[in-house]
């Protein structure tokens, strides 16, 4: 699988900066173009313009009216910092890079960015003014609706491997294996394949299907059978595998949204969510 164009959402928060650095490291190895995206949240601006909108001082506790112009200035300042950080990373990793500022609802802009890239990279949470109602709130929602590939980072941002991919024998599972294979080749690590017993395949059958989905015979593949009986099992199995990064298909009945949500909150490493797009999730 090739990642020719990667969009990194940057909001100035420590998580998003870590996501940019980690993605830049991967992009350098892949020869990918990196697009830094800063989003001016129109929902936040609209809320700030309401006559009854108030903010509370973090130290004084005093209520005061919100000045929309203050948010505009803050957006410009954060965008400048994000742009400068991108240029620094581009020079450091010798990347082809560009920077974009979009204005609109954050989730809609992230979905649009995903549609126009091979991968969207975002932090799981943010701490800046723009992020307070932005990336931190919308990252999981975008990932849940993703029809492409979304790489989410927490404080453990660097992707070192080995990757663990959940494989259920479906076509979207094949796509997830392809993405995980790219990571394993780049990182020089084995590929760990976690096969849910709920998929209904025998051990030898599911392992044979997974091996056929791996295109490069040089990739060392390790298999582990897992049980997913409740929403915490996915996170527990990924953590116990020793993986640094998890690759998970989103469009499969075996992995309900609650299980993926729990993985995102309980697994500290990066999580790559692979959406079905226009592909069928079932084999014919």
Chunk the chain into consecutive blocks of 10 residues (it has 284) and report each block's average pLDDT, rounded to whole numbers.
94 83 95 95 68 48 58 84 94 96 90 91 62 50 75 84 93 94 95 93 92 92 93 94 93 84 88 71 43
CB proximity list for 84: less than 8 A, separation 6 or greater: none
* 227-237 residue pLDDT tens: 999 999 999 99
- 282 found inside a domain: no
Distance CA 204, CA 221 (A): 14
Contact by Cβ (8 Å): 5, 36: no
CATH number for position 119: 3.40.50.620
pLDDT confidence of residue 6? 97
pLDDT confidence of residue 22? 93
Residues 227, 135 share a domain: no
What ranges make up the beta strands (E) of the chain?
5-9, 33-41, 54-56, 63-65, 96-104, 119-123, 149-153, 163-166, 191-196, 221-226, 245-249, 271-274
pLDDT confidence of residue 281? 39
pLDDT confidence of residue 278? 43
Q: Around 72, how many Cα atoms within 13 Å sit in the side-chain half-sphere? A: 5
Residues 111, 170 share a domain: no
pLDDT confidence of residue 96? 96
- 158 found inside a domain: no
Q: How many domains does the chain have?
A: 2
pLDDT confidence of residue 37? 96
- 230 found inside a domain: yes
Residues 169, 263 share a domain: yes
pLDDT confidence of residue 221? 94
């Amino acid at each position: 699988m090739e990642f020719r164009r990667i969009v990194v959402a940057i909001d100035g928060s420590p998580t998003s900066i870590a996501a940019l650095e980690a993605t830049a490291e991967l992009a350098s190895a892949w020869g990918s173009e990196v697009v830094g995206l800063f989003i001016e949240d129109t929902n936040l601006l609209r809320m700030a313009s309401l006559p009854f909108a108030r903010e509370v001082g973090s130290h004084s506790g005093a209520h005061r009216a919100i000045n929309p112009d203050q948010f505009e200035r803050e957006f410009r300042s954060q965008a400048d910092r994000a742009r400068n950080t991108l240029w620094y990373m581009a020079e450091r990793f010798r990347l082809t890079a560009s920077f974009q500022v979009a204005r609109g609802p954050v989730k809609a802009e992230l979905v649009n960015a995903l549609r126009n890239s091979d991968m969207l990279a975002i932090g799981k949470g943010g701490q800046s003014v723009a992020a307070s109602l932005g990336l931190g709130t919308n990252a999981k929602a975008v990932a849940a609706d993703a029809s492409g590939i979304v790489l989410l980072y927490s404080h453990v941002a660097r992707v070192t491997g080995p990757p663990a991919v959940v494989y259920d024998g479906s076509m979207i599972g094949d796509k997830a294996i392809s993405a995980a294979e790219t990571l394993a080749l780049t990182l020089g690590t084995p590929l760990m394949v976690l096969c849910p017993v709920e998929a209904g395949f025998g051990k030898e059958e599911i392992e044979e299907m997974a091996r056929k989905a791996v295109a490069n015979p040089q990739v060392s593949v390790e298999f582990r059978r897992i049980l997913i009986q409740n929403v915490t099992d996915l996170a527990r199995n990924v953590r116990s595998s020793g993986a640094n990064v998890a690759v998970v298909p989103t469009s499969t009945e075996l992995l309900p949204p609650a299980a993926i949500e729990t993985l995102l909150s309980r697994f500290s490493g990066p999580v790559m969510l692979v959406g079905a797009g226009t592909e069928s999730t079932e084999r014919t």
